[in-house]
Amino acid sequence: MADNDNHPMDEFCGSKFWNANETWWTTDPDFTKCFEKTALVWGPCVFLWAFSVFDFYYLKASLDKNIPWNKLNISKLVLNSALLILSAIDFVFALVKSGDEATASLIHPVDIWGPIIKFATFLLLFIFIPLNRKYGVQTSGTQFLFWFLLVIFAIPQCRTEVRANNERSKILNSDIAEKPDYSWDEYNYVSFMIYFAFSCAMLFLNCFADAMPRETKYKRTNNEIPESSASFLSRVTYTWFDGMAWKGYRQPLEEKDLWDLRPQDSCREIMPIFAYYWNKSVHKNYQTQTPPQPKAQYSNGKVEFENPHGRSTGKKKVTSIMPPIIKSFGGVFLFGALMKFICDVLTFAQPQVLSLIISFVEDYADEEVERQPEWKGIFYSALLFISAAAQTFILGQYFHRMFVVGLRIRTALINAIYRKALVISNATRKESTVGEIVNLMAVDAQRFMDLTTYLNMIWSAPLQIALAMYFLWLQLGPSVLAGLAVMIILIPVNGVIANRIKVYQIRQMKYKDERVKLMNEVLGGIKVLKLYAWEPSFENQVLQIRDKEIETLKATAYLNAGTSFLWSCAPFLVSCNDFSK
């Protein structure tokens, strides 16, 4: 290779950083030693340092304290200490070898800086172990993923080291008179095997959650939800829910079988955060409303005052509920949006991998074409499985977090409405009945929860359409525009249907408010009702309103069915227009 094609890392490692002929265009793929010592080791380290901010946040937000010392965290501490000592020995041994004239040529900057980076990373993990114990953090997703990536990325280097050791053994066991000095290579082999074994052990230990904390903000119960003390791996795979699933399989579930709500999702934790931002928003709104100054004018021998007390005569500015909701729950929602983005990307990555598998099979079917190595077919199949599994895991976590965010918003809104109902003025109380307030807490707050789950479709749907059009354009060319035209035509049709559904929903809520208001009057004056035998008259009024509700709900159901039918037919119509050209 020409000098101008050299990678900047070549001099740093003393060997090639990347060689496509050795990694991809070969029947026996392998990474270069430089790539294994740098990218495959430093990648997980960068991941840990980048996402350790989440661990610090969980330490600050933890409701528990003081996890007792046990076999699990002591084992983590011992293994982490051993990795620290091993990294320090690697650094010192590399310095000693670089000072020796006989072996100085074997030492490169990567042999010096590699142990330093690993030592700093293991030191950060070592610090997290007592901090997690002190602040009651039983598991860490960042640390589990770090050890998982470290072990997975170390497998290629393990294969390389084992092969190199076998080759050295053959040379040393041969009849060569002058046998080379492999002391530095032998040390690297032993050091890496110890490092790889300890890393696997740390990964195994991080699959489990730590012991229960001694100090908790809220008293623990016997019916506590297992998710609170589950490990990261258990939360990702939802194995903590297996007990409830098996119990429901064996016998019908009862109310006593249900777990208690997580403390983080309880009203005691959610409402103070929401109330802080809500009161701040209300206070800011009142500050921006400056009441007009009183004015006086003289006419007909009299002095008349306009607005003598300086009160605002205009309509008060209504404080929006959205800014407090965004500030209170926006962080978790944005993290869920990121997971949705990754899931959408993986959705379109799978067809690309599938196309690679098809091209691989076609090469074997055509005898005139040079066949690809078999390991590529295995690699494509494994990549397809990994991408599908990752999408499933991420999609499950996305919906879980969106449901939790919706639940928290619903809890905050119900609590805020209930608090306001307790201190509402008499003048305002005449404008709203008890039934309307109950509707706000029972129906409107639930709408926020239902909306949260699919709110990301505002940006996710256009992204999916754009990616689908792009990949179809690569395969079909201008024929894609026919399918795009069908989707564009369906947009205004669904817009009209959505507007009609909105009108019917408003009408249905109006009828519901009338019915609840009438029922409150009936129940409040039941004695008079019975005295004058007005039951049939009021019954007819309630039934008339109920009939109007049923008609509205029926019309809404028909429109929803039409929308579902259109979107179910959309892929078929798009495919017909695309492939018929």
pLDDT above 70 coverage of the chain, percent: 92
Higher pLDDT, 574 or 229: 229
Question: Phi, psi (5° rounding) for residue 551?
Answer: -60, -40
Sequence letter at residue 423: V
Residue 59, pLDDT > 50, answer yes
CA atoms of 351 and 391, how far apart (whole Å): 13
Question: Phi, psi (5° rounding) for residue 297?
Answer: -140, 150
Residue 223, pLDDT > 90, answer no
Q: What is the pLDDT of residue 446?
A: 85
Q: What is the pLDDT of residues 1-44, one digit of tens each?
A: 444 467 788 888 888 899 888 889 888 899 999 999 999 999 99
Residues 365 and 427 in one domain: yes
Residues 162 and 210 in one domain: yes
Contacts of 521 (CB under 8 A, 6+ apart): none
Structure tokens at 54: 């989440």
Answer yes or no: is 296 within a domain: no
Q: What is the pLDDT of residue 562?
A: 85
Structure tokens at 465: 């359409």
Alpha-helical (H) ranges within 100-140 are: 109-135
Sequence letter at residue 36: E
User: Domain range for residue 434?
Assistant: 260-285+321-455
Number of other CB atoms surrounding residue 329 within 10 Å: 21
- For 45-106, the DSSP string reads HHHHHHHHHHHHHHHHH-SEE-PPP-HHHHHHHHHHHHHHHHHHHHHHHHHHHHHSTTTGGG
Residues 442 and 520 in one domain: no
Residues 238-249: what's their mean pLDDT?
91
CA atoms of 441 and 417, how far apart (whole Å): 7
Residues 107-131: what's their mean pLDDT?
94
Answer yes or no: is 31 within a domain: no
Residues 264 and 377 in one domain: yes
Give just the sign of the alpha carbon dihedral 390, 396, 400, 406: positive
Q: What is the pLDDT of residues 68-112, one digit of tens each?
A: 999 999 999 999 999 999 999 999 999 988 887 777 888 889 999
Across the strands, what pairs with 64?
216
* pLDDT interval class at 287 (50, 70, 90): low
> Residues for the chain: how many in total?
581
CA atoms of 331 and 558, how far apart (whole Å): 38
* pLDDT interval class at 163 (50, 70, 90): very high
Structure tokens at 262: 């997580």
Cβ atoms of 332 and 387 closer than 8 Å: no
Residues 439 and 546 in one domain: no
Instruction: For residue 307, give the nearest of 288, 297, 293, 289 by alpha carbon.
Output: 293
* pLDDT interval class at 554 (50, 70, 90): very high
Residues 335 and 444 in one domain: yes
Answer yes or no: is 14 within a domain: no
Answer yes or no: is 327 within a domain: yes
CA atoms of 274 and 415, how far apart (whole Å): 10
Q: What is the pLDDT of residue 283?
A: 83
Contacts by 32-40 with C-beta closer than 8 Å and gap 24+?
Answer: 33/160, 34/9, 34/10, 34/110, 36/156, 36/157, 36/160, 37/13, 37/110, 37/114, 37/157, 38/9, 38/12, 38/13, 38/110, 38/114, 40/153, 40/154, 40/156, 40/157
Asked which of 421, 455, 489 is the last residue of a domain, the reply is 455
Answer yes or no: is 511 within a domain: yes
Residues 277 and 395 in one domain: yes
CA atoms of 23 and 8, how far apart (whole Å): 19
CA atoms of 282 and 299, how far apart (whole Å): 40
Answer yes or no: is 488 within a domain: yes
Instruction: For residue 434, give the nearest of 531, 535, 515 by alpha carbon.
Output: 515
Helical pair 457-476 and 535-579, crossing angle rounded to 10 deg: 20
The distance from CA 240 to its chain's CA centroid, rounded to whole angstroms, is 18
Domain count, the chain: 3
Residues 90 and 212 in one domain: yes
Contacts of 128 (CB under 8 A, 6+ apart): 52, 55, 140, 143
Answer yes or no: is 93 within a domain: yes
Q: What is the pLDDT of residue 424?
A: 81
Q: What is the pLDDT of residues 195-210, one digit of tens each?
A: 999 999 999 999 999 9
Q: Model pTM greater than 0.85?
A: no
Residue 368, pLDDT > 70, answer yes
Please identify which residue in the block is written with the tokens 């119960």. 221
Instruction: For residue 486, give the nearest of 494, 498, 477 by alpha carbon.
Output: 494
Burial of 63 (0-12, 13-18, 19+ CB in 10 A): middle
Residues 154-178: what's their mean pLDDT?
87
Measured at the alpha carbon of residue 427, what is the angle toward residues 425 and 429, in degrees to the nearest 5? 65
CA atoms of 369 and 324, how far apart (whole Å): 63
Rg of the chain (C-alpha set): 34
Residues 392-406: what's their mean pLDDT?
92
Residues 157 and 112 in one domain: yes
Read off the DSSP letter of residue 254.
-
* pLDDT interval class at 468 (50, 70, 90): confident
Asked which of 423, 455, 487 is the last residue of a domain, the reply is 455
Residues 500 and 446 in one domain: no
Residues 508 and 445 in one domain: no
Question: Phi, psi (5° rounding) for residue 137?
Answer: -90, 110
Cβ atoms of 44 and 174 closer than 8 Å: no
Residues 133 and 58 in one domain: yes
Answer yes or no: is 571 within a domain: yes
Question: Phi, psi (5° rounding) for residue 296?
Answer: -130, 145
Question: Phi, psi (5° rounding) for residue 5?
Answer: -95, 0
The distance from CA 56 to its chain's CA centroid, rounded to whole angstroms, is 18
Q: What is the pLDDT of residue 1?
A: 40
